[in-house]
Structure formats: C-alpha cells, structure tokens
A and B are shown apart, each in its own frame.
Chain A
Amino acid sequence: MSLTVISFLLVGLALVAYFFARAKGAALAARPGGTARTGAAAVHSRPAYHGAFVALWVALPALALLAGWAAVSEGVVADRVIASVPAESRPATELDRDAFMSEVRGIVTGEIEEAFNPDANPAAKVYVTSKANFSLMAGAAAAALAALGGLWGYSRLRPDFRARTAVEKVVMWTLILASLVAILTTLGIVLSLLFESIRFFQKVSIVEFLTGTVWSPQTAIRADQVGSSGAFGAVPLFWGTIFIGAIIAMIVAIPLGLMAAIYLTQYAPARARRILKPLLEILAGVPTVVYGFFAALVVAPAVRAFAVSLGMTNASSESALAAGLVMGIMIIPFVSSMADDAITAVPQAMRDGSLAMGATTSETIRKVLVPAALPGIVGGVLLAVSRAIGETMIVVMAAGLAANMTANPFQSVTTVTAQIVQLLTGDQEFDSAKTLSAFALGLVLFVITLLLNIYALAVVKRYREAYE
C-alpha cells in the first residue's frame, strides 16, 4: 500500500468522522432548549462545525505523521537494501550508493529489465518487501493516530463546546501558512542564488567577475585539462544586456508605446479603443519563445541583408539589432499600459484648463499631460527595462553567444540570461566554476531587477498619491 493510498483512505475516514460528529451536533441541537439563545442546554456551534472539528482531529495528526514518514522513508528503505547486500560487494561511496539505488528502483518500476550490477536483482526484492513492510507500519501508526484523534475530538462535543472557534483557528493558521509561501519563495531565491554564488566566488574572485572584460567559460571536461578554468569577466555580458534590453528595445518601445497610449486615451473613439486595446493585449500574451522564433527566422536575416546592403561584409546572422527590435515590440504593450495608467491619473481639471485656454489637443498632451504624468511614465519605463533585461528566449534564439563589447548593432552580443541558459543546459558537473557562474549571473540579474522594480514602484506610487 503506497503512501498516496493511505492518505486517500485517511481523507475518507475523516469524511466518515465528519458525518458522525455532525449527526451528534445535530442531536445536541435537537434536545429541548438546544436552539435557545442562552441557557445551559444552548448549543454554541452549528452541527457542521462539530463535524469539521472531529474530521480535522482525524486527518491532521495522521497526515502530519505520514508527511514526516514520507520525508525519511526512502533513506530508511535504502539503508535496509544496502544492508542486505553482501558486505564485500556493498557500494562504498555516496555516489556508488546512489547509482546502486537508482538501479534497484529502475528494476522495481520495470524501467530496467536486466541490471548491470548482479547484486541489484536480489536487492530489488528486498526493496519491495521492506518498502511494503514500512508502509504497512506507517499506515498502522497513522490509523491509530487517526482513531485516537477522532475519539478525543468526539469526546469533547458538548452543547457549550466552541467547535466553530476551534475550526476557525485552524482556518486562520492555514491562511497564514499560505501567505508565508511568498516569503519562503523570496528567501529560497535569495538563499539558493547566494549559496551557489559564494561557492563560485571561492573559485573566481568577485572583482574579476564584476570588472573583467573577457568572458569565455571553457568547457571543463576534466579538471586538469589545459584552459579548463576559463575567463569569467562578465562586463561584456552586462553590456550586451544593457545594449539589447535598455537601449535598442527601449528606442523601439518608448516612442511606440507612449504614442499608442496617447492615441488610445486621448483620440481614439470608444469603438476603436474596444478593438485596438485587446489587440495590444494579445501582443502581450504571445509567448516569448514565439517572438524568439520570429526574431531568428524572419527579423535576423532581414537585418543581416540590410547590413550587407550597407556594405558590411562581416555582418553576422545573429545581431543585437534583431533581438532588440523584437524585444522592443514585445515591450510595447507593457509601456503603453503603464503610460495609459499614468496619463489617465492626471486630473481632468488640468486638461480642461489647458483646452479652455485655447490649446489644441496635441498641445495639451505635450505641454500639460505628459509633463504632469512624467514620473508615472518614467516608473513604467523602468519596469519595462527590468522586464527586458530579464527576458530570456528572444536573446537565446536571436542574439547569439559571442561575448563582444561592441556598440555596433549589427554584430552579435550576448546577454546575462542567454549565458545562464547556455551554461546550465549542457551536461556539466555541478561543482565546476562554469556551472556555478550561472548562479552568480542570476544573482546579479536578480539584484538589478529587484532594485529597478522597487525604485520604479516607489516612483509610480508617489506619483499616484500626488494626484489623489
């Protein structure tokens, strides 16, 4: 019997307990005086709460036991299996042990038909039986706990028992636990990035990483290989990221996004807005991998042909311009919606005042609305930059992997995100500097986008409050 089955049985048991206890609660209420507002016989809680109270006592302790058991069971079973192997052929190191156990599991699940290691076949039988035994023990313990919890909960049901208060306390704790997931996730991101980055900075100095201008994380197949260490100067990656995400993409996205927002909010008749706005939203909903495919298949060759027609002989098929252009188009809806919000937040009185003075609509927009909305627009643009530099698929597919420090948009540059993908998708040992450098890059990316976001959100918030 697997743990999943036991859990389902427990839930079923809790359901049965619920109906029993609810019946008891209903019986309490049905006694003379049971439904009175006050008095000795008045029931505090509705029958459903009595039911839920007992059901929680049946399920929660037993499920907690099972969860704890699930966390350690594989290890305990593995110990049993290893112990059953004759001492002389027992796997010695941690690595051998893991390999042996995965082979045993492979035989049990039927993925491997014939084991490489002759000891694995008898061990597989030990694995099955000991796992079954332990599951049975865990199931029995859980059943006992469920019964105990259920009996104790049931024994507490009295007319004056505050079952609702108890159940609501559990609900509140569930709510708090759910909210803590956000903090745990943030903590998980920070800690995992920091932990791996520190390991990287033990191998490569942090100064070299942040100021070096040569990036070539050589494939480190063997530690003693010549040139296996590679060079980890990340400045070319930072430049490439800024060049594509903060310069080229923004040159495309800011004018187009801003003008689109101005047209939608100030000029477009209601009917046109109803058609055009969802169109922009569709543009925002297209997956980035589709943009990447489009950039690589259509835009990059066109950019290359254009460069050749300009007389550049060494134009590469992967260029900063192709990736930046497509990324800019991807960002348009984002800039547009932020600018839309900022412009709509400007008080109508300012607009009316300007129009009443005889200014045309465009003069009002240029001289009154946009200056007034500028903080909000700038905040939106910063958020857009943070999105653009964190964008991965477009640059992976269209920007290339050559770490060039160039301001020539027709040349290939690489970005932080493209390098992270490149570094982590090969088959690499996890301890090599090459693999760990991806986490250091991730940490830099995380810190930069975090600062941008916090600052931009603060700007936008202050701006909104100014007009409230």
Chain B
Amino acid sequence: MNSAQSASRPPTDWASPKMRARIARRYRSESIFRNLGLFALVLAASFLVFLLVTVVRDGWQGFLSTDIKISATYDPAVLGIDPAAAKGPDAQAALQAGDFQAVMAASVAKLGDDADAVSEGAWLVLRRQLMDDPALLGQTVPVWVPAKSTIDLLAKGKFDLSKPEIERGVSDADIANFNDLKKAGLVRTGFNRIFITGADSTNPELAGIWGATVGSLLTLFVTLGLAFPVGVLSAIYLEEFAKRNRWTDLIEVSINNLAAVPSIIYGLLGLAVFLNFFDMPRSAPIVGGLTLALMTFPVIVIAGRVAIKSVPPSIRDAALGIGASKVQVVFQHVLPLALPGILTGTIIGMARALGETAPLLMIGMRAFVSDTPGGLTSPATALPVQVFLWSDDVARGFVEKTSAAIMVLLVFLLLMNSLAIYLRNKYERRW
C-alpha cells in the first residue's frame, strides 16, 4: 500500500522555484531563531555589564575623599586634658575624653568664611591623630580633615554648575568657599581612609564600610561554624546510612523544601524563635549567623550528597573488604574524597549567605551602628544591609558610598566564587 502510494507520487523537483523559495524560507527562519537565541544571551550579558559599569562609574569616587588642610593647636587647656595624665598609664582614656570639638572650632575659625566647608565630624580625625601620637599635645600641627559632603561632591564634579543655584544642589556660597580654598592650596583629593576603616555615620563623608565588613565576617563565621558540620553530617547520614523509611523521606522532603523557602521566611523564624522566644540580643551577629546557618545548611546538604554519591562504590567495597567498619569506610575514605566537592558547595552557600539581606532586616541588623562591632553579641550590621541603608538615605553623598559598598561586596563574592572554582578545578576527579 505504502510503496504503491510513493510510487504513484511524482518525484519532488528540488530545483523548482517553489521548492527553492520554501527552502530559503526555512533557512531564513532557522537563522532568525538562532540569532534570537544569541540575542537573548547577549541581552542578559549586556545587562550584567551595564550593571557593573554603572556601579563602578558611580562608585569608584567613593574611595576618594576631599580633604581640607587646617592647622590644629592641641592646647591642653582647650582640650581639658591634664598634661600629666596624658603621660600616665591611662593616657589613652584621658586623651579620648578631651574636648576636641573646641580645638576643631578654634582651628577651623582660622579659615574665616571658608570654615563651613569642613565636615562637622572632623574633630574625630584630630582625636585619632592625638591618640596615635600623644607627643603632639601642646603643639600646633597642620592636619588634613575631611570636607563636608557637598564640597566633596563639588570637588568630584558631581554638580552641573551651569544650572541655576536652586536646581543644582549646591549653593553659591559653597562654590565660593571651595574656590577660595582651592586657590589657597588647602584642598586635596586623595584615598578615602575613613571609608575603608570607619563604620556607619549620618554624614556621608565620615561613613565607612569597615564596620559592616566586620559584622558580615562575624555573621558568616557563626554561619560556617554551624552550617558546615551539621550539613556535612546530615549529608553523610542520608547518603550512607539512612534506611529507606518514612523518617528518611521526611528529612529529604524537608531539606529539599528548605532550600527553596524564601529567605525572608527565615527572617521571620529568627525573629519569632531566636529573638522573642530565646530572648537573644537584637542586631547581633550571632542571631544573624544562626538564621543564615538555617538557610545555608540545606544547600550544603544537597551539595554534600552529590559529592558523596560521586565517590565510586569500588572505594567502599575495597575498604570494607580489608575489614574496615562502615563508619571507618565513610570517615577515612569516602569523606576525604568527597571533601573538595563539599567545600565547593559550602563556599557557594556562604557566598549566597553573604549577599542575603532580607532575613537580617527582620532580626534588626538594620540598626544604625556607628562602631565596629566588637563581638558576637554586640550590635552590628552587614555589608548588604549597609548597602540597603545607604541607598535609602536622602543625603546625596551616599549615592557614591552605596555604589562603593556594592563594589566591596562584589569583590568579596568574586573572591569566594573564584576560590570555589579553583577548588573544583584543582581537586575534581573523574572516576
């Protein structure tokens, strides 16, 4: 029947104009489809590039600061410091208590009208200088202090000076002050030490990223300390020992779902359980770490199971064959071989935890913390939360600080991911 049909049909004339047009149309749609695919990829990639370029363009100047030169007189009388006490055993405490704001006011007054250009928190710089070098007490020294945010932005060319005063965000007086100081050679733009070493502040020119970095490190320290052992041990149990029964199924379903629960739910859990039920301190890295550990450990379990599964059974059989117990097989043979894979998964999980914001907001790590956190229970904030807080701030100077903070965060993420890729490439074994 079939052969009769095909025999009765005339052979296709591939050279006919109709068939040529048809093939051309098909090839055309092929190339359109293919280019659509490429276009989708290029669009996604160009978005990434656009995002990075925008952040770097806005942010690189956040690592620079505009300083103004003043001459500060560390007069013990003005400071209210007893020169004898400043040499005694409690010298640092005595110096710390000094009235540096008065010294600042006196020094800045020498600038006349231009005094307004100096940051209101500049006295902190004086205090640090004197505490670093107590011998300066009683002397007059030139000091570079940060300019106020508007002047800083002006020096970086962030204002469009051709606009009328009311629209451009900087007053004529500020511009005049800046030009005066510049003419006198009292302005310089240099590396922003305060940004790298300081903590949060209400003034953009005094805000730093170090406090949030330490908060993030402390939080991640707790997360790693809890999530890694628990995650690895559960992975071992589920992959090597668990019998197929209802409990095991329940554990597996729990882990798979926990890995997909929205992060903000973990924040609610942390708030209800750690803060309200266990009465742990608000805003503390230990609570943040606990919350993120609960979020991270399913990721480690899943990565760990894959890594353990990829160790070939022959290794286990060989060890069992020469008399090792099951526990010995797992801990002395399987685990060391699976460790690179587990570590890769752990680092990726930790990178996710480092970028996580929402759960930390829930447990109060959005508090304004102007000190570098000293311990696991002291109030702290974290890098992504700092980005969020600064992005919310109305002060214009925080725009570049936010982008600069994002750059710091991305550098950390890049380092962690590179480490994961390096580990994977170096230790990955094909069996």
A and B: interacting chains: yes
A contact residues vs B (CB 8 Å cutoff): 164, 168, 171-172, 174-176, 178-183, 185-186, 188-189, 192-193, 195-196, 255-260, 262-264, 266-267, 276, 279-280, 282-283, 285-294, 296-298, 329, 332-333, 360-363, 365-366, 383, 386-387, 389-393, 396-397, 417, 420-421, 424-425, 430, 438-439, 442, 445-446, 449-450, 453-454, 457
Determine the residue in chain B with the shortest Cβ distance to A390: B262
Report whether B44 and A283 are in contact in the complex, using a CB–CB cutoff of 8 Å: yes
A-B contact count (CB 8 A): 243
A445–B261 alpha-carbon span in the complex (Å)? 9
Stretch at the interface among B22-30, B79-87, B175-183, B197-205: B22-30
For the complex of A and B, 6 pairs with smallest distance between CB atoms? A390-B262, A263-B37, A287-B355, A178-B233, A192-B272, A259-B40
Name B264's contact: one of A172, A383, A420 (CB within 8 Å). A420
Chain B contact residues, majority secondary structure: helix
Report whether A172 and B254 are in contact in the complex, using a CB–CB cutoff of 8 Å: no
* Contacts A185-B269, A264-B41 supplied; 19 other A-B pairs, CB < 8 Å: A168-B325, A175-B237, A178-B229, A179-B238, A181-B230, A189-B266, A192-B269, A259-B37, A260-B41, A262-B37, A276-B45, A289-B355, A290-B406, A333-B44, A390-B261, A417-B262, A425-B362, A430-B276, A446-B262
Report whether A438 and B327 are in contact in the complex, using a CB–CB cutoff of 8 Å: no
A280–B45 alpha-carbon span in the complex (Å)? 7
Category for how many chain B residues contact A:
35 or more
7 contacts between A and B (CB under 8 A): A178-B229, A287-B356, A361-B30, A366-B33, A397-B392, A445-B265, A457-B256
A262–B45 alpha-carbon span in the complex (Å)? 16
Report whether A288 and B357 are in contact in the complex, using a CB–CB cutoff of 8 Å: yes
Most buried by A among B301, B325, B391: B391
Report whether A425 and B268 are in contact in the complex, using a CB–CB cutoff of 8 Å: no
Report whether A188 and B391 are in contact in the complex, using a CB–CB cutoff of 8 Å: no
Report whether A179 and B355 are in contact in the complex, using a CB–CB cutoff of 8 Å: no
Which B residues from 219 to 274 make CB contacts under 8 A with A? 229-231, 233-234, 236-238, 241-242, 250-251, 254-258, 260-266, 268-269, 271-273
Report whether B388 and A393 are in contact in the complex, using a CB–CB cutoff of 8 Å: yes
Name B294's contact: one of A185, A196, A290, A393 (CB within 8 Å). A185
Report whether B254 and A263 are in contact in the complex, using a CB–CB cutoff of 8 Å: no
Report whether A180 and B251 are in contact in the complex, using a CB–CB cutoff of 8 Å: yes
B-chain residues with CB within 8 Å of residue A263 when the two chains form the complex: 34, 37-38, 40-41
A192–B298 alpha-carbon span in the complex (Å)? 19
Most buried by A among B231, B265, B294, B355: B265
- Shortest A259–chain B CB gap in Å is 4
- Shortest A362–chain B CB gap in Å is 4
Say whether, besides A172-B327, A293-B406, A453-B260, A256 and B44 are in contact (CB < 8 Å).
Answer: yes
Chain A contact residues, majority secondary structure: helix
A257–B44 alpha-carbon span in the complex (Å)? 9
B-chain residues with CB within 8 Å of residue A424 when the two chains form the complex: 268, 271, 361-362
B-chain residues with CB within 8 Å of residue A181 when the two chains form the complex: 230, 234, 297
Stretch at the interface among B47-55, B118-126, B164-172, B309-317: B47-55
Report whether B54 and A298 are in contact in the complex, using a CB–CB cutoff of 8 Å: yes
Report whether A186 and B254 are in contact in the complex, using a CB–CB cutoff of 8 Å: yes
Report whether A256 and B51 are in contact in the complex, using a CB–CB cutoff of 8 Å: no
Whether a CB of chain A sits under 8 angstroms from the CB of B43 is yes
Most buried by A among B33, B238, B250, B294: B33
- Shortest B234–chain A CB gap in Å is 4
| In the complex, per-residue mask of B50-68: 1 if CB is within 8 Å of any chain A CB, else 0 | 0100110010000000000
Name B261's contact: one of A287, A397, A450 (CB within 8 Å). A450
